[in-house]
Amino acid sequence: MLLSDIDFDKLEKCEWKLAWGEGDPTLERFFFRHGGMIYKLWGKRYNVKDYIAVNGEYVRHNYRDAASGIAAIDLGFVDSQTCPALIDLIWDTEEVCRGYVMTEGMSLNSVSEITEDFFDLICSRSLSTGFLSTDFAPKNIIRVEQGLSLIDLDTVVTRLDSLDLEFETSKGSLRAHVVPEYKRFIHDTRFRQLYHLLSK
């Protein structure tokens, strides 16, 4: 979908905080709603979506597929299984990804609402891609007709094999709001990786 194709006169601008985040011009994030869909838009300079965390540093991801537009999608962490609510990405005429459109869905309120199947899916996706979600928490998950869906696609993902625990505790996948079982999964997986390396 092209940014120029969106009829903004038909969209309701959301000035309040949504599950997708808070509309904030200083962060170049804007939210609109129409017909059961949420439009999340970024300004041209918004580049959080382009970064991954490696060894406690933010590193710009070099897209293998320029059409992906978001690091988490390009890396395979976000797809139709982990994010069935995703309808389309929004592009400008310079072929820069400027946001996305999602089915609105119902926000989750607690960890207990995350199904075992969805939790297992996120863990298996973390292992298969080698990247972790730094925002796997109820506030970043919605329920849609197809099941549960991640929503905050511009979340920075972290390389699993190069965790900096201090960094991850303060800014990444081990922060307080992240699902406790996922944090345990991260610690256990990293321990097994290190044990395997040391036992060679």
The pLDDT of residue 176 is 93
Judged on CB neighbours under 10 Å (0-12, 13-18, 19+), 35 is exposed
CA distance 77 to 142: 17
Sorted by sequence, the CB contacts under 8 Å of residue 77 that are 6+ apart come out as 125, 126, 129, 131, 133, 157
The residue among 145, 147, 92, 80 whose CA lies nearest residue 115 is 147
Give the 3-state DSSP-derived string for 25-67, with helices as H, strands as E and coil as C.
HHHCEEEEEECCEEEEEECCCCCHHHEEEECCEEEECCCCCCC
Q: Which two tokens stand for residue 94?
A: 């310079």
The pLDDT of residue 142 is 95
DSSP class of residue 85 equals: T
The pLDDT of residue 67 is 63
Cα–Cα distances in angstroms (integers) from residue 12 to residues 34, 37, 117, in the given order: 6, 11, 34
Q: Evaluate if pTM is beyond 0.85.
A: yes
pLDDT in tens, 55-87: 999 998 876 565 677 899 999 999 999 999 999
CA distance 19 to 108: 9
DSSP class of residue 136 equals: -
What residue has token string 């075992």? 116
The pLDDT of residue 192 is 79
pLDDT < 70 stretches in the chain:
15-27, 63-67, 195-200
CA distance 99 to 144: 20
- How many residues does this entry show for the chain? 200
Q: Which two tokens stand for residue 16?
A: 């309040």
What residue has token string 């081990």? 174
CA distance 60 to 133: 16
pLDDT in tens, 175-200: 999 999 999 999 998 887 776 666 66
Q: Which two tokens stand for residue 11?
A: 């969209």
